[in-house]
Chain A
Amino acid sequence: MNSAQSKTMRDAFIEAIYEKMRENERIFFLSADFGSPALDKLREDFEDRFINVGIAEQNLINVSVGLALEGNIVYAYAIAPFITMRDYEQIRQSLAISSQVRPVNVNLIGVGAGLSYDVSGPTHHCMEDISVMRLLPNFTVFSPSDRLLAKKFIDYSINVRMPKYLRFDSKALPEIYDNINDLKIEEGFYELVKGKKVCLVSTGFMTHRALKAAKELQDVGVVDVFMLKPVNEKLLLETLKEYAYIITIEEGFIGNGGLDALISKVILDNQLNIKLKRMGFNDKYVFELGGRDYLHKLNNLDEEAIIKAIKDFAV
């Protein structure tokens, strides 16, 4: 694991899109007036295929659908809570429902997973996206934990002609995957640390917390789930059944269809004798102000809380 700070997921991914746009004239990039350093070059060099629809997420989706129905590959880009919830009906009708009959390739890139916009408050926190996007049939939900994984998704995003939601952190995070070339997106998860009895199953930013917590203890496994839908349940089962205790950790509301639901389903459907604990946000928004570390501490999601949870739960 490389602990050096690197570029953001969005910049890594937009650079990959840029390269693909050079060779593929069917790729369009639409933004709801949302930028990033890497986007400046793309806007300049592909002015015909970059469209800023303005602060208009509903139209962002509809225009993307219209372009995609003509066989184009579309990336639609906005802040995570807005691109998933402001235009949920457009997403439902023209992407999720429609794609069951007439598949289209629209990739929604939402920036600001969980509390990555920490000080901007509850409107900019995104705690519902995993649940609301996983709920939609015909959708893929991708939640990377570092920029290497984000960049790796580019080929999948082009080749799989279905709607997708890409859930990106807004902050630059340390790199986790030094074996990125061997990783398979379709497998959907990776066992970063092999443990014995206890396994932390996490997604996105929380995988960084899980790794730190696991380091402090002996034999605690860490599984990073980056494909929240579709899930390779068979493969996941093979990995999870080796453990007696699983703790899911996510930066979102728990008990409502998030990562915890995904893992519960695997355990239930396969009648596994595994004890499950779920960590995340309870049924309340976060109005307290402060950085992400502080807000996580307040909500029992810091490393200390995770270590304590492992000890209380699995000992």
Chain B
Amino acid sequence: MISTEFLKEKALWARKETLNIHRLAPETRLASSLSDVEIFVVLYYGGILKFDPKNPSWEERDRFIISKGHGAISLYPILADLGFFDKSELAKVGQAGSFLGGIPDTMIPGFETINGALGHGLGVACGTAIALKIKKSDSKVFVLMGDGELFEGAVWEAIMFAGHHKLNNLILIIDNNKISMLDYCRNIVDLSPLEEKFKIFGWETGVIDGHNMESVYNSLKNLKEKKSDKPEVLIADTIKGKGVPQLENDVLCHIKSLKEEEITKAIGELK
């Protein structure tokens, strides 16, 4: 059993590191990378994902496809901390010669796919899930998607497909931060009732508070161990820009860059 206190400390640290990266590379999508921190922390430090930092393409690893590519800046410090690459790389994000860009790509050890354009990850994960089943592999496929991505039609092709093929080795986590680039998702095209939509497409569903470490940990652990005959989706209700009050209350936080002094202040206020 992993202590949730340890996981909470890791989340606090990851947010701080994410803000430090943003200081170096102001074009990084900060708010999107703060809503999914607990999810990353639990997956990597909570014993959920199987991985080998020294061999990122280890055959027995769980596949983790991050469909909301821009929101994975907070994963950089985690991957460095675990040894996927050297920690000194974190001081070079977005700089000439670095492989850590504003949007992650497959040059980075530990990233399975490139997802600058949204709405592709789940379909790719469906193919991977079938391949693993045919190999009779125990590995699972995890996908992280933003709720705004659900506006992409191709996502629904994949949701239908996964349900139809009963891809029970596929676990989708939705970082449901409820804000797209220009507005709240509900004002653009209302996605609710989201859980019911997945249910009628043949998925097992769960809804949690994506910032409550106990909930995130228990739900993911349960999903990983549970035997179901359906693909599973965990809708994690989150706050875009979580931890930085200046972002949390701003519907336009997606493209917001913080100034030097704002970052220092935000780090000081993190809890």
Contacts and interface: CB of A to CB of B under 8 A. Distances in A.
A123 B128 CA distance: 32
A66 B154 contact: no
A93 B117 contact: yes
A53 B159 CA distance: 12
A59 interface: yes
Given A54-B161, A101-B105, 18 more contacts: A49-B134, A56-B161, A58-B157, A61-B123, A62-B122, A62-B126, A63-B130, A63-B161, A66-B131, A71-B131, A90-B123, A93-B115, A93-B116, A93-B117, A94-B113, A94-B120, A97-B114, A101-B106
A85 interface: no
A154 interface: no
Interface SS of A by simple majority: helix
B132 A94 contact: no
- 7 nearest A-B pairs in the assembled complex, by CB-CB distance: A66-B127, A62-B123, A70-B131, A59-B157, A58-B154, A66-B128, A63-B127
Interface SS of B by simple majority: helix
Contacts of A67: 127-128, 130-131
Nearest to B105: A101
B153 to A, nearest CB: 7
A56 B124 contact: no
Contacts of B105: 101
B120 A93 contact: yes
A61 to B, nearest CB: 8
27 contacts: A51-B130, A54-B157, A54-B160, A58-B153, A59-B161, A63-B161, A64-B127, A65-B127, A66-B123, A66-B126, A66-B130, A67-B127, A67-B128, A67-B131, A69-B113, A69-B131, A70-B127, A70-B128, A93-B114, A93-B116, A93-B117, A94-B113, A94-B124, A97-B114, A98-B113, A98-B114, A102-B106
Interface string B80-106: 000000000000000000000000011
Contacts of A94: 113-114, 120, 124
A94 to B, nearest CB: 6
Given A58-B154, A59-B158, A70-B135, A90 B120 contact: yes
Contacts of B132: 70
Most buried by A among B105, B123, B125, B130: B123
A89 interface: yes
Interface string A50-85: 010110101101111111111110000000000000
Interface string B157-198: 110110000000000000000000000000000000000000
B129 interface: yes
Contact of A66 (B116, B129, B135, B160): B129
A48 B115 CA distance: 29
B112 interface: yes
Given A48-B134, A90-B123, A94-B113, A62 B158 contact: yes
